Structure 1
Amino acid sequence: MKHFKFHSDFGSFLQCGLFILSVILISGISISYGQNRLEKDSVATQADISPSGSAAPSSNTYSKSPKKLPIYCVDTPEKKISLSFDAAWGNEDTQKIMDILDKYKVHVTFFMTGGWVESYPDDVKMIAKRGHDLGNHSQNHKQMSQLSAEECKEELMSVHNKVKELTGKEMTLFRPPYGDYNDTLVTTAKECGYNAIQWDVDSLDWKDYGVDSIIKTVCEHKHLGNGSIILCHNGAKYTADALETLITTLRDKGYEFVPISELIYPDSDEIDTEGRQHPCNSSTALSCPFICLDKT
């Protein structure tokens, strides 16, 4: 009888353990999905980065992507980069982050979910008041490639209207949750007045590897160069502690921080096969074998 009870208890314990393990695995896959998308779409490969770490100089000869891509980075001859924070959970370090940004006179972009906006309306107002970009990160942080165009629009405009009511500002930048997108999402975002934004440098702060890891991952990243967009999270454990050194180190490398709204070309649909946005102008239109869609 005792022998039977042991096996019964052990079986229950094993089932419980397997269930917990499956939950952990599913969560890990979901979080890393967007990070892997960068490599899947072959964005900003090492071939595009010069040995000095700066992006390759502007060129009118590039291949436009046959599929609709978000903006991963920007083609610019200037050493300008953008720092961005996804705000989907947590708020303990937002004030510290804002104070460090103020200290170094750095303006960044915050991509906020509807839930975060509803939970921290005063912080949304503070971000706007201090001159940072307000970006849309969807209402419910869903994998939006699985949604219809109408559902995508609802996810976008729900947050848009909340932020406009709080700040009076019209957001124009959207980051897909998990980095997950398809043609429907990119097109719908454009119809709603948004440029879809990804990143080419991931701080990996969401993995909680520590301050030194964040600094090294960003500052020694093989994709770091002119026009890079850096991904961070305001709710990650070590981000605020790493921020000051991150800023000073990148400035020592000669980079200037600008918000994404000042880095991208808002009216250009010219995105090459590696996710790099190019300006839409007369020289580009003449030299490239495709029509510049925003050219009047």
Structure 2
Amino acid sequence: MDNKNENNPVSDITLFVKIGIVVLTVMAVVGLGVKFLPNAITVSNIGRKRDLPIYSVETDENKLALTFDTAWGFEDTEKILEILEKHDVKATFFMTGEWIGKNPEAVKKIAAAGHDLGNHSENHKQMTRLSEEQCKDEIMKVHKRIKKLTGVDMDLFRPPYGEYNNMLVQAARDCGYYTIQWNVDSKDWKDYGPDSIVKKCVENKNLGKGSIILLHNGAKYTPEALEGVILGLKEKGYELVPISQLIYKGEYRIDQTGRQYKK
């Protein structure tokens, strides 16, 4: 007896259509889940061997960012804020929970001045040695401190010591954070003097549009060098902006150097 469905093109087409409907339905459900996830961060380097933070940003504008790792020192922070205000510059301060606890009024002052508030972990540990849950705890403790003090929901994170791995970058992303590194290092913590800091910032071979510059609020010569850094960068035509006005939010991609591109 002949099989009526054997080599029947109509039957094959019907099966193909059914499979297609199932596949599209699954894709739609997954897509909706991503679309309506609050504050979703989508980056195309997920799944690569190395999940990179943002070291710099691809932009046609002459913009770059000054950032301060803020883990110790108070009086220097006051001086830094005065210099930034004098030159109408907004920066980004990555603060630890311990520093926040000791200097709550300074945190409020930083926020009131319009600078970015960044997360530098609760205890400044080597977070690559922690578990995923411990990393999230380190991040969210600081988040809650800042939220209580200022009402700000932070989304910028810098790992202590600049150390990270895929797990930490993903843990930060799960907490709603963009992990931020730098491509220009002032080396201010080495105490080589203010001239050295200015030179390492203004004449750095990596300096360019979209650069992120690393400074420390508690380094000995940073306040003394800061005005020279600002003036030197402005003379080169750069506008100094906080990280929130430099990076791309939402969907983006990162190349192998950690440079961020708008998707």
User: Taking structure 2 as the reference length, what is the TM-score of the superposition?
Assistant: 0.81
Match of 2:59, SS state, is coil
- What amino acid is aligned across from residue 122 of structure 1 in structure 2? E
Do 1:203 and 1:217's aligned partners in 2 also have CA atoms closer than 8 Å? Answer: yes
Give the Cα–Cα distance (whole angstroms) in 2 for the partners of residues 110 and 186 of structure 1.
Answer: 19
Tell me the alpha carbon deviations over residues 265-285 of structure 1, each in whole angstroms, 9 at most, x when there is no partner: 0213411001000001xxxxx
Do 1:265 and 1:277's aligned partners in 2 also have CA atoms closer than 8 Å? Answer: yes
Match of 1:187, SS state, is helix
Runs of 5+ consecutive residues of structure 1 not aligned to the other structure: 1-62, 281-296
Q: Establish whether residue 100 from structure 1 lines up as the match of residue 83 from structure 2.
A: yes
- What amino acid is aligned across from residue 115 of structure 2 in structure 1? H
- Residue 90 of structure 1: how far off its partner (Å): 1.1
Give the Cα–Cα distance (whole angstroms) in 2 for the partners of residues 120 and 268 of structure 1.
Answer: 35
Runs of 5+ consecutive residues of structure 2 not aligned to the other structure: 1-43
Match of 1:235, SS state, is coil
Match of 2:169, SS state, is helix
- Residue 136 of structure 1: how far off its partner (Å): 0.1
The equivalences for 1:161-240 within 5 A come to 161-240=144-223
- What amino acid is aligned across from residue 170 of structure 2 in structure 1? T
Match of 2:67, SS state, is strand
- What amino acid is aligned across from residue 193 of structure 1 in structure 2? G
Say which structure is richer in strand: 2
Give the Cα–Cα distance (whole angstroms) in 1 for the partners of residues 175 and 251 of structure 2.
Answer: 16
- Residue 120 of structure 1: how far off its partner (Å): 0.3
Give the Cα–Cα distance (whole angstroms) in 1 for the partners of residues 85 and 238 of structure 2.
Answer: 17
- Residue 66 of structure 1: how far off its partner (Å): 4.2
Q: Which residue of 1 aligns with 2:105?
A: 122
Tell me the alpha carbon deviations over residues 53-107 of structure 1, each in whole angstroms, 9 at most, x when there is no partner: xxxxxxxxxx966421000000001110000000001112111111111111100
Give the Cα–Cα distance (whole angstroms) in 2 for the partners of residues 129 and 254 of structure 1.
Answer: 27
Given the alignment, which residue of 28, 38, 53 partners 1:70?
53
Match of 1:111, SS state, is strand
- Residue 165 of structure 1: how far off its partner (Å): 0.3
Do 1:66 and 1:273's aligned partners in 2 also have CA atoms closer than 8 Å? Answer: no
Give the Cα–Cα distance (whole angstroms) in 2 for the partners of residues 206 and 216 of structure 1.
Answer: 14
Q: Establish whether residue 256 from structure 1 lines up as the match of residue 223 from structure 2.
A: no
Do 1:79 and 1:226's aligned partners in 2 also have CA atoms closer than 8 Å? Answer: yes
Q: Which residue of 1 aligns with 2:134?
A: 151
Given the alignment, which residue of 73, 81, 88 partners 2:64?
81
- What amino acid is aligned across from residue 176 of structure 2 in structure 1? G
Query: Which 4+ stretches in 1 moved above 4 angstroms?
Result: 63-66
Q: Which residue of 2 aligns with 1:276?
A: 259
Give the Cα–Cα distance (whole angstroms) in 2 for the partners of residues 181 and 275 of structure 1.
Answer: 13
Give the Cα–Cα distance (whole angstroms) in 2 for the partners of residues 134 and 278 of structure 1.
Answer: 23
Match of 2:65, SS state, is strand
Do 1:268 and 1:278's aligned partners in 2 also have CA atoms closer than 8 Å? Answer: no
Match of 1:278, SS state, is strand
Number of corresponding residues = 218
- Residue 199 of structure 1: how far off its partner (Å): 0.3
- What amino acid is aligned across from residue 257 of structure 1 in structure 2? L
Distance 1:191 1:151, change over 3 A: same
- Using the aligned pairs only, state the percent identity: 60
Give the Cα–Cα distance (whole angstroms) in 2 for the partners of residues 202 and 179 of structure 1.
Answer: 11
Do 1:73 and 1:229's aligned partners in 2 also have CA atoms closer than 8 Å? Answer: yes
What's the Cα RMSD here? 1.1
